Amino acid sequence: MNQTLSTFLKIAVTVVSISAFLFFIGYNMISSESTEYQTEITGISNNLPSDGK
């Protein structure tokens, strides 16, 4: 019984650790991509012609 619980907890801790690590990497990728996209949109918006008013 104790061996089974120990094995389960080892697997559970490993799964949670890997999931947290992948979430952290994904979150940082999305953050950097959204910042890059915002910079691009701002640049395009600043280069639009004015309506002359």
The pLDDT of residue 26 is 92
| Measured distance between the N- and C-terminal CA atoms of the chain, rounded to whole angstroms | 80
Of residues 1 and 39, which shows the higher confidence score? 39
Rounded Cα distance, 38 and 33, in Å: 9
Torsion sign across C-alpha atoms 9, 11, 13, 15? negative
The pLDDT of residue 48 is 80
- pLDDT per position as a tens digit, 2-48: 899 999 999 999 999 999 999 999 999 998 889 888 888 888 888 88
The pLDDT of residue 50 is 75
Residue-by-residue DSSP string for 22-38? HHHHHHHHHHHHHHHHH
Which amino acid does the sequence have at 2? N
The pLDDT of residue 23 is 96
Of residues 51 and 38, which shows the higher confidence score? 38
